[in-house]
Amino acid sequence: MKVVVTGGAGFIGANFIRYCLQHTPEWELVAFDDLSNGRGSNLDGLGVPLVLGSVAISGEIDAASAGADAIVHLGALGSVPRSIENPVGSHVANLTGTLNVMEAARRENAYVVYASSSSVYGANPKLPKSEFDWTRPMSPYAVTKLGAEGYVLAYQQAYDLSTLAFRFFNVYGPLQPADHAYAAVIPRFVDAALSGAPLTVYGDGSQSRDFTYVESVCAALHSAVSRRVSAPDPINLAFGTNTTLLELIGALGREVGHELEVQNVPPRSGDVRASQSDGLRIREFFPDVSPVPLEDGLVATVDWFRELKRNVVGA
């Protein structure tokens, strides 16, 4: 089976490719990435071809997807703050890019798994969130994710294509970069903690997230592709945890062995106050996938960052 992974050199994409190589080495894997977020070094030594190109540019995905049985569409221009600064860029990369992927899949009759986002719930205050709750995006990024999952699901009806839209909730783990302006909260915190720098918290730290370790995400993606799981509605890829940033900082401090200094700054525009899935549909469709406890995920993530820093110092 040929599986094309858009965003294959990125954090989740490279972890997913590693997971596939471990569990189904007979699959033919192709990474497709423009390296705007991903890094070619994430695929070093894996023996998986990296095709350079952008999903946002019509036709560039076509050659890579020729003969594909499945496309795992992880390629996107992420970050709520970045989308507020550049809404047109987010629209083109995420909405137009997804439409190009769906057209490529339609030509090949390929199965598609799409990575949407919990940000689509936006201003809906209900906790925990069900996939059938109303959505109210608060940022251009969230709008693009909601619109793109609409394309993915509409292609089931319009073209009889098998597709699945996952809504990711704050995925974290090894390979997630901390060295750019739009880095996610856990890699930012871990990097600062190991460097002895204060942890920047936007707001008072009582905002909460349903943090999901990347291995659980990869297991769900792999199971979806293996079984060609298709559903007419999105599925939250999270398991119902609710961790405040202050609780996260406490857990991280215990892992690194010392109390962490916190620097509070004003909240950012477009940030969701609280995010938590009810975890029902993911367990219904993927009973074989188990969540990794936050403490265990933090241990693996901190270990990866420590090794990265040792390699940098020794270089």
Residues 215-232: tens digit of each pLDDT: 999 999 999 999 999 999
Question: CA–CA separation, 287 vs 262, rounded Å?
Answer: 39
**Residues in the chain, total:** 315
Question: CA–CA separation, 91 vs 57, rounded Å?
Answer: 13
Q: What is the pTM of this model?
A: 0.94
Q: Does residue 287 belong to any structural domain of this protein? A: no
Are 144 and 203 contained in the same domain?
no
Are 229 and 100 contained in the same domain?
yes
What local confidence, expressed as pLDDT, does residue 259 receive? 87
Are 145 and 8 contained in the same domain?
yes
Question: CA–CA separation, 35 vs 16, rounded Å?
Answer: 17
Are 82 and 130 contained in the same domain?
yes
Domain carrying residue 115: 2-171+213-237
What local confidence, expressed as pLDDT, does residue 286 receive? 98
What average pLDDT is seen over the chain? 93
CATH number reported for the structural domain that contains residue 309 in this entry:
3.90.25.10
Are 258 and 154 contained in the same domain?
no
- Asked if pLDDT for residue 165 goes beyond 80, the answer is yes
- pLDDT tens across 22-43, in order? 999 999 999 999 998 889 999 9
Are 144 and 261 contained in the same domain?
no
Cα separations in angstroms, 258 against 17, 193, 196, 261: 35, 9, 10, 10
> Token pair for residue 239?
């398991």
Question: Distance between alpha carbon 70 and the CA centroid of its chain, in Å?
Answer: 18
- Asked if pLDDT for residue 311 goes beyond 80, the answer is no
- Asked if pLDDT for residue 315 goes beyond 90, the answer is no
Are 197 and 109 contained in the same domain?
no
Cα separations in angstroms, 228 against 1, 69, 221, 254, 280: 12, 10, 10, 41, 20
Are 54 and 120 contained in the same domain?
yes
Q: Which residues touch 176 (CB under 8 Å, ≥6 apart)?
A: 11, 183, 184, 186, 187, 214, 301
Question: CA–CA separation, 167 vs 257, rounded Å?
Answer: 34
CATH number reported for the structural domain that contains residue 6 in this entry:
3.40.50.720
Q: How confident is the model at residue 312 (pLDDT cuts 50, 70, 90)?
A: low
- Asked if pLDDT for residue 78 goes beyond 90, the answer is no
**Pairing relationship of beta strands 208-209 and 171-172 according to DSSP bridges:** unpaired
What percentage of the chain reaches a pLDDT higher than 70?
Answer: 97
Q: Using an 8 Å Cβ cutoff, are 252 and 260 in contact? A: yes
Are 141 and 200 contained in the same domain?
no
Q: Does residue 288 belong to any structural domain of this protein? A: no
